Amino acid sequence: MKKPTPMASIVRVIDLVKDYHMGTQTVHVLKGLNLSFEEGDFIALMGPSGSGKSTLLNVLGCLDRPTSGAYFLGEVNVAKMDDDQLSEVRCTYLGFIFQSYNLLPQYTVVENIELPLLYQGITLDQKTKDRCIDLAEMVGLGDRLDHRPLQLSGGQQQRVAIARSLVNDPHLILGDEPTGNLDSKTSVEIMQMLRNLNQAGKTIIMVTHENDIAEWARRVVRLRDGRVESDIRNDTRGRVG
Amino acid sequence: MPSVLQNASESLWLIVGVALVAIVVAARVLWLITVGRRVAGGVRTARAATFAKLQRSLSLAIKSLWLHKLRSFLSVLGIIIGTSSVIALMAFGEGSMQDALEDIKRQGATNIMVRSVKPSDDSLTSQKSWVTAYGLTKRDLERISTFGDAIVRIVPLRVFPSEARFRERQVNARVIGTVPDYADVQKFELASGRFLTEADDRDRKNVCILGSEIADKLFPFENPLDRGIEVRGAEFIVVGVIRERMPTGGSGGSQAAEEFNRDIYIALNTSVDFFGEVISVRTSGSRVNEKVQYNQITITVSNIDKVRPVGEAIKSLLKQEHGGKNDWVVTIPLDRLEEAERAKTRFTTLMAMIASISLLVGGIGIMNIMLATVTERTREIGIRRALGAKQKDITLQFLIEAVVQTTIGGLCGVVFGIAMVFTVPIVWEWFAPTPLPAKIHRLSIAISLVFSVVVGVVFGLYPAWRASRLDPIEALRHD
């Protein structure tokens, strides 16, 4: 077993509270969470529906702002940022993988991968295109560069999504039930790919409700009713291969 | 048809220009769709990045539109109809007005026309019952001549219908007895020979000048010059032929519906000598003897400012001379010119407004479609936001889509509008006796193009704004 190296805390959540207002009622979804995730870790967020796991992922993904509390992404507290700043953070530091892939149907594989770069405001040239092609090849779709999502299987689409999430070299990759729409064989392929990414140093946080999938992660955080129920390191029990 | 063709050369550069623009746009569209982006290397400056983003947005917009070809087409249909109708209606309006204006201008802004009018009341019967005498007289002419140097030229006319014969050929013509200055007033162009001279009038020579149609009908194979034709028993030698003139739009020229081509011109004094002062005219079955010394007198005034005063003076003179007899009428083209200009502006503006309404309706259609599009692409908007798009990125994307649609619609509308201006008059002439004049208003093309872009911005803004305000998380959950 490798000696655990001291890793930097890449995500720190302090007293995170998230309330939703539905008419006159207020729903307290996150009730003061305190969590810290290290760089290079692979975390699974689990819990029954209503536990707040998806909400937590949204906050971590800067898609939603907490009602109160702090969220340190690296050194910066992003909890109080405005919409434009959060958008900036998303396209610069974060990568997303969704359950239903969420590729744009009118774009090819390469164009889909390229999308986050567009919003960074950089000029798209041959260099960036090459980078996207490299990523496509890395996920095994080098021969389908001009295909559109409709022409790809679910697994292939998810692989494109993974490539897309990597194009901006993010600090953090967030996955929302990444294998939810895939069969078990393809799920294994995808999880293997994520594990490889993690082993290469990428920090991954994913929400899942399947124990099988959670076993691929190195740390499992279970939520219940907006609070942390359990927080277990998986390293020693990790799957082989 | 002729008036359209006349404008063809003028409009040709327009068509070429529009076609070039259309080709460039089409080529760019195709290139963007297939290739996808500009290959720009090198320095990454802020301005270059913004330009690249704009470029990119443009290609995104075109791609999204291309994905839904039918829907995009239907949504711009309103714009196409609006734009083409602005152009076509303004062209037809302009053409009609132009015809009327040209007609008046031809009469001369410094001219005053006095015409003899057959009175409808019984004031004639007091004279010899078998002759109806009316109209302008030598005395009137003399009196008008005393107005001095305000008057540059006086041209009296005597007109009556007659048959003209050459050998076995015969044609119905209108004989006009007049003075040489008539050629200046009417701005004749001679096809051959000469017009009347002072000598002809003074010596009462029996010479004549033929209108183009008379010359064609009586002398289809020969040269008319120096030949003799017969008019009401008298022989006239042809000394000239007038070049064919386009008929006016019948807006009431010096004589009702000028038909110069069927006229035969002889010297005024000759006409009096040969035919006397009483002319027998066949009118709808019966024969009437008319004594009209002058059917018309055209007065050219030295200066535009003097036109009205002289006109008034002539009117009061004639009122005095003719008592209560309503056998004359004074026409001042200048008045009608200004009136026609005003009417034209009114008319053109009205046409433009009417057509703009359809552009507006087209804009509402665009807004409707864009709103539906935004709803349909809610998911996509969520994805883009998640990947880092700011609200203004989304706004810009959809706004550009709307503007691209309307601009392409506008360009198509321009092409279609110009096509209509050329084809509708042709179809028109199958059914209607008079031609439909048309003159493409350069301004209308510019206006309608600008308008179509503006419509895209105005009506695309709200849907684009709506799109940008979508909550990313909600949007991602959308179907």
Tell me whether residue A159 is in a domain. Answer: yes
User: Would you say the ipTM is above 0.85?
Assistant: yes
Q: Is the pLDDT of residue A224 over 70?
A: yes
Tell me whether residue B112 is in a domain. Answer: no
Tell me whether residue A28 is in a domain. Answer: no
Check residue B375 and give its pLDDT.
93
Domain identity same for B29 and B8: yes
Q: Is residue B248 within 8 Å of residue B257, measured between CB atoms? A: yes
Check residue A6 and give its pLDDT.
46
Residue with the bigger pLDDT between B65 and A238: it is B65
**Dist CA A99 CA B415 (whole Å):** 48
Domain identity same for B295 and B400: no
Q: Is the pLDDT of residue B36 over 50?
A: no
Average pLDDT, chain A: 89
Identity of the residue in A104, A105, A119 whose CB atom sits nearest the CB atom of B388? A119
Residue with the bigger pLDDT between B454 and A43: it is A43
Domain identity same for B162 and B281: yes
Check residue B25 and give its pLDDT.
66
Tell me whether residue B113 is in a domain. Answer: no
Tell me whether residue B21 is in a domain. Answer: yes
Domain identity same for B421 and B274: no
Helices (H), B108-220: 138-145, 182-186, 198-202, 212-218
Decide: residue B206, CB within 10 A, 0-12 exposed, 13-18 middle, 19+ buried: middle
Check residue B130 and give its pLDDT.
66
Is B384 in Cβ contact with A115 (below 8 Å)? yes
Average pLDDT, chain B: 79
Whole-Å CA distances, B16 to A166, B12, B22:
50, 6, 10
Which residues lie closer than 8 Å to B320 by C-beta, 6 or more apart?
none
CA angle A185–A186–A190, rounded 5-degree value: 125
Mean pLDDT for B170-179 is 90
Among A173-177, B24-28, B155-159, the range of highest mean pLDDT: A173-177
What is the number of domains present in chain A?
1
Check residue A41 and give its pLDDT.
93
Residues of B with CB under 8 A from a CB of A: 36-37, 39-41, 44, 48-50, 52-53, 56, 63-64, 67, 379-380, 382-393, 472-473, 476
**Mutation test of the interface with chain A: which of B71, B387, B474, choosing the one with the most A Cβ atoms within 10 A?**
B387
Among A84-98, B309-323, B361-375, the range of highest mean pLDDT: A84-98
Q: Which domain holds residue B318?
A: 118-326
Residues 67-106 of A with CB under 8 A from B: 83-84, 87-88, 90-92, 96, 98, 102-106
Check residue B43 and give its pLDDT.
36
- Kindly state the tokens that stand for A202: 């990428």
Check residue B40 and give its pLDDT.
38
Domain identity same for B155 and B285: yes
Domain identity same for B86 and B132: no
Name the domain boundary from B282, B298, B326.
B326
Q: Which amino acid is at B337?
A: L
Range of weakest confidence among A24-28, B87-91, B407-411: B87-91
Domain identity same for B44 and B67: yes
Q: Is the pLDDT of residue B203 over 70?
A: yes
**Dist CA B292 CA B133 (whole Å):** 6
Check residue A215 and give its pLDDT.
92
- Kindly state the tokens that stand for B201: 């009038």
**Dist CA B136 CA B159 (whole Å):** 12
A102: left (phi over 0), alpha (psi -120 to 50) or beta: left
Name the domain boundary from B262, B291, B326.
B326
Partners of B132 in beta bridges:
B290
Domain identity same for B300 and B351: no
Check residue B437 and give its pLDDT.
77
Q: Is the pLDDT of residue A9 over 80?
A: yes
Nearest to B233 by CA among B157, B159, B175: B175
* Cα atoms in the 13 Å half-sphere on the side-chain side of A198: 24
Check residue B24 and give its pLDDT.
66
Q: Using 50, 70 and 90 to split pLDDT, how confident is the model at B50? A: low
A97-147: pLDDT as tens digits? 999 999 998 889 999 999 999 888 777 788 889 999 999 999 999 898 999
Decide: residue A22, CB within 10 A, 0-12 exposed, 13-18 middle, 19+ buried: exposed
Residue with the bigger pLDDT between B81 and B13: it is B81
Name the domain boundary from B261, B295, B326.
B326
Kindly report the nearest CA distance between residue A170 and chain B, in angstroms: 11
B223-250: pLDDT as tens digits? 888 889 998 888 999 999 988 876 554 3
Identity of the residue in B63, B379, B387 whose CB atom sits nearest the CB atom of A106? B63
Domain of A101, CATH number, reads 3.40.50.300
**Dist CA B455 CA B366 (whole Å):** 9
Nearest to B3 by CA among B422, B477, B427, B446: B422
Domain identity same for B158 and B275: yes
Check residue B249 and give its pLDDT.
43
Tell me whether residue B255 is in a domain. Answer: yes
What is the percent of chain B with per-residue pLDDT over 90, rounded to a whole number? 10
DSSP 8-state secondary structure symbol assigned to residue B149: G
Q: How many helices (H) and strands (E) does chain A have?
A: 7, 10
pTM over 0.95: no
Mean pLDDT for B439-452 is 81
Check residue B122 and give its pLDDT.
55
Whole-Å CA distances, B268 to B159, B162, B280, B467:
10, 16, 17, 83
Q: Which amino acid is at B152?
A: V
Mean pLDDT for A150-172 is 94
Tell me whether residue A9 is in a domain. Answer: no
What is the number of domains present in chain B?
2
Mean pLDDT for B378-384 is 94
Tell me whether residue B242 is in a domain. Answer: yes
Is B393 in Cβ contact with A119 (below 8 Å)? yes
- Kindly state the tokens that stand for A177: 């039930």
Tell me whether residue B333 is in a domain. Answer: no
Check residue A188 and give its pLDDT.
94
Domain identity same for B211 and B268: yes
Domain identity same for B357 and B431: yes
Which residues lie closer than 8 Å to A55 by C-beta, 6 or more apart?
A18, A29, A30, A64
Q: Which domain holds residue A218?
A: 41-62+84-237
Check residue A209 and give its pLDDT.
92
Domain identity same for B253 and B152: yes
Q: Using 50, 70 and 90 to split pLDDT, how confident is the model at B285? A: low
Chain-centroid distance, C-alpha B97: 5
